[in-house]
Amino acid sequence: MRILVLGFTGYLGGHVVEHLRALPGARVFGGGRSPAAELDIDLATARTDRLAKTLASAAPDAVINCAGSTDGDAVTFAEVNSRGPAVLCAALREAAPSARLVHLGSAAEYGPGTPDTRVTEASATRPVTTYGATKLAGTVAVTTSGLDAVVLRVGNPVGPGAPPTGLPGRIAGLLRAAGPDPDAVIRLGDLSAYRDFVDVRDVARAAVLAATSPGPVPHVLNIGGGHAVPVRELVRALARTAGFRGRIEEDGGGSARSGAVSWQCSDIAAAGDTLGWRPSYVLDESLAALWAATSLRSEGGRTP
């Protein structure tokens, strides 16, 4: 099976490639802007006709699109999260119309959740941030493309390799910098929000299952931990894992993107019914793996 992974050097894409390379009979292609990419593809700027020629040369049986922007301005979000999936679908219709497309969306597309309620794939989408709105536009492009396609609406990924642009990776970096100093103080914004955390390795496994499933798949599947966890609890658990002896203070501030959504929790039953997928890591395991990978990076080693 020939599988193309776009965004293969990123946080999610790297784990997807690792899972695919353990799959018997899989021929994995990396697409992106990296010098290591076998296929030079920039979805933010690609022309449909040229991208179609590139895709035709790879003749993929499946494409997993992990390319996306979680940090930047509105223009960057629109180019990568909205235009990217649209031009990819247009090129696939021309070059490989029978290929399975797996696109990684975001739970941010749902917008604010209702406390003690899990959102299903049929729930209303009401994004309140530019990020969520552009991710939703990408989802619409995929689900209306007429292709054999599925969008995985991913919760908050956590685990080894978490980037410093996201909360878990940023907290790990602050804890690493603070070290064992009992007088250290880490000041953070409001940590009262609830989020649905899911191990990045479980996300990768879901993407591989979706790409290789022999039967039809729904247009949208939620991929999350299935539980709403207070962000404060994640921070404290990671601090315990790191052996942090100092003090964590909340100043009541925080990003607009996080502050606008106080509750997120996904119903993941459909992924279980369709793909046989369930989360295999609990949060403490994910945080331990994140901290171990952070330790290796700080020592100049190789992350797992």
Residues with Cβ < 8 Å from 191, sequence gap 6 or more?
230, 231, 232, 235, 250
Q: Where are the alpha helices (DSSP H) in 179-217?
A: 200-212
CB 239 within 8 A of CB 175: yes
Return the pLDDT at 256: 47
**Rg (alpha carbons) of the chain, rounded to whole number:** 19
Residues with Cβ < 8 Å from 45, sequence gap 6 or more?
79
Note if 110 is an active site residue: no
The pLDDT profile of the chain, 304 residues, written as one tens digit per residue, is 999 999 999 999 999 999 999 999 999 999 998 899 999 999 999 999 999 999 999 999 999 999 999 988 999 999 999 999 999 999 999 999 999 999 999 999 999 999 999 999 999 999 999 999 999 999 999 999 999 999 999 999 999 999 998 999 999 999 999 998 999 999 999 999 999 999 999 999 999 999 999 989 999 999 999 999 999 999 999 999 999 999 999 985 545 455 578 999 999 999 999 999 999 999 999 999 999 998 755 554 433 3
Return the pLDDT at 259: 55
Best CA proximity match to 223, nearest among 163, 277, 176: 277
In angstroms, what CA-CA distances link 146 with 54, 100, 143, 212, 234? 21, 11, 7, 19, 40
Best CA proximity match to 250, nearest among 225, 237, 231, 266: 231
In the structure encoding, which two tokens stand for residue 125, read together? 């989408």
In the structure encoding, which two tokens stand for residue 5, read together? 């992974």
In angstroms, what CA-CA distances link 119 with 40, 152, 280, 298? 37, 14, 21, 38
Decide: helix, strand or coil at residue 150. strand
Instruction: Outline where DSSP puts E strands in the chain.
Output: 2-6, 27-32, 39-40, 62-65, 100-106, 148-154, 156-158, 185-188, 194-195, 197-199, 220-223, 229-230, 247-250
**Distance between CA atoms of residues 205 and 250, nearest Å:** 35
Choose the catalytic residue: 11, 131, 194, 281.
Answer: 131
**Distance between CA atoms of residues 164 and 206, nearest Å:** 24
Q: What is the pTM of this model?
A: 0.94
Decide: helix, strand or coil at residue 68. coil
